[in-house]
Amino acid sequence: MKPRTGLLAPFLGLLLATVSQGADAVRTAGSVAAATAKDQRHARESDAFFAGPIQRFEVRCPKESLESLRQDPRKPVPATVTVGTNVFGSVMIHVKGAAGSTRSVDDNPALTLTFDKQAAGQRLQGLDKIHLNNSVQDPSRLSEIVCSDLYLAAGVPTPRATQALVRFNGRDLGLYVVKEGFNRTFLARHFAQRTGNLYDGGFLRDVDQDLVREAGDGPDTHADLKRLVAGATIADPTRRWEALSALVDVDRFATYTALQVLTEDWDGYPCKRNNYRVYHDPGTDKFVFFPHGMDQMFGRGGMPLEPGFEGLVADRLFQTCEFRELYWRKIASLLETTFTTNRMFAAIDAATARRQANPLARGRADLGEIDGAANDLRQRIAHRVRDAREQLSRRPRPIAFDDRGEWHPVDWENRTDDGNVKATRRADRKGHPVLQLEAHSAGAGSWRTRARLPAGRYRFEASASTRNVVALRDQRGRGLGLRVGGAPRQNELVGTAAWKTLAFDFSLEREDDVDFVAELRARSGTGWFDPASMVVRRMP
């Protein structure tokens, strides 16, 4: 009897495919495990670099590399880098820096060093990419170090920083700041998966623009950023919050934004849509923002804790009451736990000790100026901590609505806007208190109160009546009526009218202070409001 190979062939093919897939899975799992172990080893090595005494970097460029940097500073060229007693060949370097910090290669340039671009596997104590910052805008060489410590302590992924002595082709460039680079090594330190898209914010570019992808597997289509922008541009605040909560690690973003404001980072993403990276974490399918360029922090200007935001995600999130509440909780918490003089002064002391541990850094002629700048930084930090605490204590709180979603304003003050309109508190014929407005000539007068309301839809109501009101019309309205500050109204009572309920509907896209206005715009006549009927209601 002949074997029935026609029936066996598909089975054997399926079996072989299954075995092959299993082998691939085992190889993939093994590769992931090996990569994880390697990442952990590199992390331990880099910990020692940033925690130990500062190093001296000797960068030597051959003549052709030096000439290339003069012609095209951003184009990487090979160089030899000596760190301590370790010599690294084929290190790719280029000049870095923004408008305020860029210096030519013949001056004191800031440099980016990539150790493994030409020499596979080459690393400096676990680091494959670092920046040597000239810190021309930070004479203390400490701002980046202090801020990096703050963000990391608060759970926001941030490049670590330390100091270093730098020589370039035999020239002493002095004390620099060393920062680790944004790349997969950095991502592996902070995320379980490092294969997501990492975008560079560039110069004054928001997430709705064509950001450069610095790392990431798969096609570079910006599809994830497009989803983020779509969520941020939803008009309804409730739906926008729901969408962005699914797209952004909002807890980390609130911490990040709070620290940007506390450190007075006027040039970061929330306030200026600048100096940032954003990572789409495949493990959570959410975006995480990273700070960058923190060499000019802690000014003496007293940045408001609610400064107004230009970054699309920051602005649109801040317009939701949920994020605002989260943001203010973060401000209060950070001022108690992390943003303290004790922590920041300790970071300064630790950096100074690391510098002094290197004999080459002692006795330098420029140390007096550097230490003086460090003392100035301490003073600015102490000033900012006091200022932020005072601002938080003075922050107005939104009003509390009762179980029915109502708030009854009571602190009414009168104001004459134009002409001769007299405001008085009196009782009507039945002895009930009323707020009276009486026009003796053409003009406008009002009763007003102010309150802070969360974002939402509202109705302002009051019972009112008039006698012999000859209305005066302008862009705000006419006769007796209700409105909120800055808005015109349609409701009105003119002539002689019995008691009637007036209503004014309005909405807020963000928490804000609202002026409630009960007014008379008339040539003559009298109007009354019943203060007991005055109510602000939350609307669905």
- The chain-wide mean pLDDT, for the chain, equals 92
Q: Which amino acid is at 43?
A: A
Q: In this structure, what DSSP letter does residue 141 have?
A: S
- In terms of pLDDT, which residue wins out, 510 or 481? 481
- pLDDT score for 17: 53
Q: Are strands 55-60 and 161-168 parallel, antiparallel or unpaired?
A: parallel
CB 399 within 8 A of CB 407: yes
Q: 283-336, pLDDT tens digit by residue? A: 999 999 999 999 999 997 789 999 999 999 999 999 988 999 999 999 999 999
CA 3 to chain centre: 72
According to the model, what pLDDT value does residue 321 have?
82
Q: SS3 letters for 342-410?
A: HHHHHHHHHHHHHHHCCHHHCCCCCHHHHHHHHHHHHHHHHHHHHHHHHHHHHCCCCCCCCCCCEECCC
Residue 3, pLDDT > 70, answer no
CA–CA distance, 510 with 328 (Å, rounded to integer): 14
Which range is least confidently modeled, 50-59, 88-97, 417-426? 417-426
For 287-316, b/e burial (b = at least 16 CB within 10 A) is: bbbbbbbbbbbbeeeebebeeebebbbbbb
The residue count of the chain comes to: 540
User: Minimal CA–CA distance to 309: which of 361, 271, 365?
Assistant: 271
Every domain range in the chain assigned CATH 2.60.120.260: 406-539
* Cα–Cα dist 192/279, whole Å: 13
pLDDT for position 2 = 45
- Going by pLDDT thresholds of 50, 70 and 90, the confidence category of residue 7 is very low
Q: 406-539 architecture in CATH?
A: Sandwich (2.60)
pLDDT in tens, 369-404: 999 999 999 999 999 999 999 999 999 888 999 999
Q: 519-529, pLDDT tens digit by residue? A: 999 999 999 99
Quick one: which of 440, 434, 526 has its CA closest to 480? 526
Q: What is the mean pLDDT of residues 23-49?
A: 68
User: 18 pLDDT exceeds 80?
Assistant: no
Could you report the per-residue pLDDT of 97-106, keeping only the tens digit for each?
Answer: 877 788 999 9
User: Cα–Cα distance between 406 and 131 in angstroms, integer?
Assistant: 57
- Write the pLDDT tens digit of every residue in 64-86: 999 999 999 999 999 999 999 99
The confidence score (pLDDT) of residue 29 equals 47
Count of other CB atoms within 10 angstroms of residue 66: 16
The letter for the amino acid at 157 is P
List, for residues 166-204, the tens digit of each pLDDT value.
Answer: 999 999 999 999 999 999 999 999 999 999 999 999 999
Cα–chain center distance at 192? 23
pLDDT at 108 over 70: yes
Cβ-Cβ contacts under 8 Å for 325 (sequence gap 6 or more): none
Token readout for 540 is 């669905």
Q: CA separation (Å) from 396 to 82, 389, 416?
A: 56, 14, 26
Q: How confident is the model at residue 28 (pLDDT cuts 50, 70, 90)?
A: very low
Q: How confident is the model at residue 22 (pLDDT cuts 50, 70, 90)?
A: low
Q: Across residues 441-466, what is the average pLDDT?
A: 96
337 Cβ contact list (under 8 Å, min separation 6): none
- Is 222:294 a contact under the CB 8 Å cutoff? no
Residue 157 structure tokens: 């992924």
Task: Report the C-alpha gap between 511 and 312 in whole angstroms.
Answer: 17
Query: Terminal CA-to-CA distance of the chain, rounded, Å?
Result: 81
